[in-house]
Structures are given as structure tokens and as C-alpha cells.
Amino acid sequence: MTAPSPVRFAQDERAELADFLAGLSPEQWDAPTLCHRWSVRDVVAHIISYDDLGPAAFVGRFVAGRFDPDQVNQVGVDQYAQMSPDELLAELKGHLHPAGLTARFGGRIGLVDGLIHHQDIRRALGAPREVPVERLATALPFARVAPPIRAFSRARGLHLVATDLDWSSGKGPTVEGRAEPLLMAIAGRADALDELDGPGRSILADRVAG
């Protein structure tokens, strides 16, 4: 039997996020997430904001954001600012299959982006879940080196160990814990640091704080 592809994992991740969002109140849609300055509705807008961009529009967005990654992402989010939660949810349901930029690297961009941002929402709302291990096993190695996440600089000189997966990376002081908080921490989410251990944890915490 052929194993599911990363793009299928990304699609499943978006579908599960859509199911979760369907049960949120209007107040929860406006609640803050682990993404600095972004509400739930902003994060949902970001997840789908690159799917329909062709090459010219992609370059145009970077120009509009002055080539600063955070500003470029904000340009995309702002395009959905007038949409209601129901409209955003409908847009997400219409974009379950990653396209454009998020379909690159076999769908790994869509998987990592969707998984991290799904957790940004759930962790902030106090709504934990068990992320399927096969998604984490696919997402962690890619997130470790993907430039937009900036995990490489946070994890440099550290030995990362996922205690619930057969995965480790790097050399140096060890940072260990379950794969989900490990992924969130190297993605810059301080919320996950208390769930990690090891002599390298304080180093990672300093880098996340910086």
C-alpha cells in the first residue's frame, strides 16, 4: 500500500482545522493566537492567502511587502480583512487541497504551515488535540530547514529529539520532548517551551525570546 503523500497530509490538516473552526463563536474568531498580532481570522486568512497567486501576483506581493517576510504575509492577510468568519471558513473549505506556493515540495509547505498555524489557534484557545504522528514525522524534518520558519537559526548547535517519534536532528546540547511542542518551539512559539526538557532547552528559549 502506498503511504499518504505530504499533500494529502496537508489536505487532511486543513480539513480538520475547518471542522474545528466551524464550532467557534464569533468572539473566538477575534481572539488572539500564538502568532504575534494575528487573531484566529487572520491566521485562517494567512493559510489560504498564497494558494491562488500566480508568478506575477507572487512577486507583486513581495514588492508590496517590501521583501520583509512578516510584511509580505500581512499584505496577504489584509486582503481578507473584510470577510466574515463564515466567508473565511467557506474559503478554507474551498482550499483544502494546497495550491500554488503551498503545494511546493510535494505539499510540505502546506502541511507545515497548516499544522503550525492550526496549533497556533488551538493552543491559544486552550483546545488541545493529538496531531497524527505521521504528519509530525513528515513536518519536523522540513520545518527544521525551511527558511520562512527560521527554525534553523533557533536550532543551530542543538540536538533535537522527538521522544514520541523515531526522529532526531543536529549535534550539541539536547532539547527533547514530544514532536508537537518541539515543532512549535523551533518555529518560535514560546508557549511550547515548558513541555520540553534537556540541557539545550534554555538555549532554545533564549533564541525564541530574541
CATH of residue 13: 1.20.120.450
Do residues 58 and 145 both lie within one domain?
no
Mark which of 101, 125, 149 sits at the end of a domain: 125
pLDDT score, position 191 = 97
Beta carbons of 79 and 46 less than 8 angstroms apart:
no
Mark which of 70, 99, 125 sits at the end of a domain: 125
Whether the model pTM is above 0.85: yes
Do residues 35 and 95 both lie within one domain?
yes
158-203 pLDDT per residue, tens = 999 999 999 999 999 999 999 999 999 999 999 999 999 999 999 9
CB burial string 16-53: b at 16+ within 10 A, e below: bbbeebeebeeebbeebbbbeebbbbbbbbbbbbbbeb
pLDDT score, position 209 = 95
With 0-12 CB in 10 A as exposed, 13-18 as middle and 19+ as buried, what is 7? Answer: buried
Mark which of 125, 159, 183 sits at the end of a domain: 125
Do residues 111 and 30 both lie within one domain?
yes
The H-or-E segment that residue 126 falls in is none
CB burial string 137-171: b at 16+ within 10 A, e below: bbbbebbbebeebebeebbeebbbbbeebebebbe
Do residues 12 and 114 both lie within one domain?
yes
Domain boundaries, position 91: 6-125
Do residues 13 and 78 both lie within one domain?
yes
Do residues 105 and 12 both lie within one domain?
yes
pLDDT score, position 143 = 97
Q: Is the pLDDT of residue 147 over 80?
A: yes
Do residues 183 and 81 both lie within one domain?
no
pLDDT score, position 69 = 84
Q: Is residue 88 part of a domain?
A: yes
In a 13 Å sphere around the CA of 152, the CA atoms on its Cβ side amount to 5
68-127 pLDDT per residue, tens = 888 999 999 999 999 999 999 999 999 999 999 899 999 999 999 999 999 999 999 999
Q: Is the pLDDT of residue 52 over 90?
A: no
CATH of residue 153: 3.30.1050
pLDDT score, position 2 = 57
Do residues 181 and 95 both lie within one domain?
no
d(CA 142, CA 147): 10
Least confident stretch, 18-32, 34-48, 63-77, 118-132: 63-77
Q: Is residue 130 part of a domain?
A: no
pLDDT score, position 62 = 87
Number of domains in the chain: 2
